[in-house]
């Protein structure tokens, strides 16, 4: 941006000071202050005390912008401060303004173009501070190009799918081995081979997880069985206590019945008052009611015991049905994953690559920048953290290397 000195005035001009401050801040940027204006950029021109000249101006293919009363002004190849000076010079030369304060800012840089092995090749908007990594993210990441002609094969993407499918197949195989062990309640599962590109340590970690699940499942099964048997024992104890209580209540009711008969005979002879007989009859009635309540408690306890006994009897069947259903679903997944893995392996082999040392292979993303230098596009070596410039062209490819 332009470094502007304020002209000496007799009164304080706030807007002029503001423009000068903005220009000074812009000049402090070590990187973008030196960027040259090129076709495709959009700049904002501000002229203090002359707002009719303010506005966004797009730099055309010839490097010019159009301004009121000035027409086309060539800014191609100029820094921002140089562009402001040129506009100010034209305003003075044409006797439009005496001492113009001109500020030129870039509101939108010319786009960056990303091509090659990216998912969405094309132009992307440039932002200050953008790196190669940012540009690849905006282009959808490195990968197969979206072309109508799909004859090209993206080997890195195929290998990624092949490796992912291999891990999924290992997971399913390990789950099936665990389910087989659960069916017979064996505490160890059969060994599981690692298909495709699975690393040995990853296979061990996954098998260890399923082993822990198997252990927890068997412990849960045993705990449930113990709980059900304990519940049966408690109901047996409750029923036995209720039976004993019923025997005592029957004895009490019989004894009370005999007392009632004796009292009734005495009342008839006038040897016992009637209220005493009524009191004994009430006791007899209460004893009969207690017996009925005891019988109801006993019936409920027997029903609950029968439910627990049924659960204990069918627990093994339910266990087997659940595991068999899970195994059936896992076997369907295994068949699908095997077919996918075979198809991916064939695609990789048909593309001229091989499956050997698959776990040690890596494909590195290679980015080459073509940048305009002195009017010519020249290649620039780049890494993911390389800062890119407006108008850069990024060509993305893959290189095979050792991991």
Q: Which long-range contacts (CB under 8 A, 24 or more apart) does 60-69 make?
A: 63/37, 63/38, 63/39, 69/94, 69/96
Q: What is the CA radius of gyration of the chain?
A: 46
pLDDT in tens, 111-133: 999 998 888 899 999 988 899 98
Cβ neighbourhood burial of 60 (10 Å; 0-12, 13-18, 19+): middle
Q: Where does the pLDDT of residue 191 fall: very low under 50, low under 70, confident under 90, or very high at 90 and above?
A: confident
- Supply the mean pLDDT for the chain: 82
Tell me the pLDDT band of 142, cut-offs 50, 70 and 90: confident
Which residues, 6+ apart, have CB-to-CB distance to 317 below 8 Å? Answer: none
Instruction: Read off the pLDDT of each residue in 352-378 and give the average, rounded to a whole number.
Output: 69
- For residue 74, the cross-strand partners are 64
Which pLDDT value is given to residue 342?
87
Read off the pLDDT of each residue in 224-237 and give the average, rounded to a whole number.
92
Residue 146 binned pLDDT confidence (cut-offs 50, 70, 90): very low
> Which has the minimum average pLDDT: 122-126, 192-196, 280-284, 381-385?
192-196
Regarding beta strands 71-74 and 64-67, do their DSSP bridges make them parallel or antiparallel, or are they unpaired? antiparallel
pLDDT bin (cut points 50, 70, 90) of residue 33 is low
pLDDT digits (tens, 9 = 90+) for 37-70: 899 899 999 999 888 889 999 999 898 999 998 8
Please give the Cα distance from 389 to 400 (Å, whole number): 28
Give which of 309, 291, 290 is closest to 235, Cα–Cα: 309
* Separation in Å, CA 238 to CA 52, 295, 377: 100, 12, 95
> Within 10 Å of residue 214's Cβ, how many Cβ atoms?
20
pTM: 0.45
Q: Which of 89-103, 141-155, 265-279, 286-300 has the lowest mean pLDDT?
A: 141-155
* Cα angle for residues 140, 128, 51 (degrees, 5° grid): 125
| C-alpha closest to that of 107 among 16, 193, 30, 32 | 32
Give the pLDDT score at 400: 58
pLDDT digits (tens, 9 = 90+) for 194-220: 776 788 888 888 889 999 999 999 999
Rounded to an integer, the average pLDDT of 90-114 is: 91
Contact yes or no for 111/389 (Cβ under 8 A): no
């Amino acid at each position: 941006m332009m470094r502007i000195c304020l002209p000496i005035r007799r009164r304080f001009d706030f807007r002029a000071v503001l423009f000068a401050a903005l220009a000074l801040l812009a000049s402090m940027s070590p990187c973008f202050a030196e960027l040259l204006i090129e076709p495709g950029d959009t700049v904002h021109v501000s002229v203090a005390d002359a707002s009719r000249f303010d506005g966004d101006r797009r730099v055309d293919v010839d490097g010019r912008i159009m301004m009121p009363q000035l027409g086309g002004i060539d800014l191609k190849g100029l820094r921002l401060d140089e562009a402001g000076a040129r506009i100010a010079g034209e305003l003075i030369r044409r006797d439009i303004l005496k001492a113009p304060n001109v500020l030129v800012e870039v509101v939108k840089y010319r786009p960056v173009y990303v091509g090659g092995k990216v998912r969405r090749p094309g132009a992307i908007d440039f932002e200050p501070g953008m790196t190669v990594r940012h540009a690849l993210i905006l282009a959808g990441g490195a990968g197969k190009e979206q072309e109508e002609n799909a004859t090209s094969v993206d080997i890195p993407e195929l290998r990624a799918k092949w490796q992912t499918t291999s891990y999924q197949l290992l997971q399913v195989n390990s789950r099936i081995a665990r389910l087989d062990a659960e069916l017979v309640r064996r505490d160890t599962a059969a060994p599981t081979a690692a298909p495709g590109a699975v690393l040995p340590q990853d296979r061990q970690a996954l098998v260890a997880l399923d082993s822990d699940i198997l252990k927890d499942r068997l412990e849960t099964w045993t705990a449930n069985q113990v709980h059900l048997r304990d519940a049966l024992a408690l109901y047996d104890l409750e029923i036995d206590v209720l039976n004993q209580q019923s025997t005592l209540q029957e004895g009490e009711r019989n004894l009370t019945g005999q007392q009632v008969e004796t009292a009734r005979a005495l009342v008839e002879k006038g040897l016992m008052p009637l209220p005493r007989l009524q009191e004994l009859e009430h006791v007899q009635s209460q004893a009969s009611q207690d017996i009925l309540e005891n019988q109801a408690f006993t019936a409920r306890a027997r029903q609950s015991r029968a439910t627990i006994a049924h659960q204990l009897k069918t627990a093994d069947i339910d266990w087997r049905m659940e595991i068999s259903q899970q195994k059936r679903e896992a076997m369907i997944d295994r068949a699908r994953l095997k077919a996918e893995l075979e198809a991916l392996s064939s695609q990789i082999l048909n593309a001229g690559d091989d499956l050997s040392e698959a776990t040690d292979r890596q494909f590195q993303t290679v980015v080459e920048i073509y940048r305009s230098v002195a009017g010519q596009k020249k290649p620039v070596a780049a890494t993911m953290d390389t800062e890119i410039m407006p108008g850069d062209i990024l060509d993305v490819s893959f290189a095979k290397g050792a991991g």
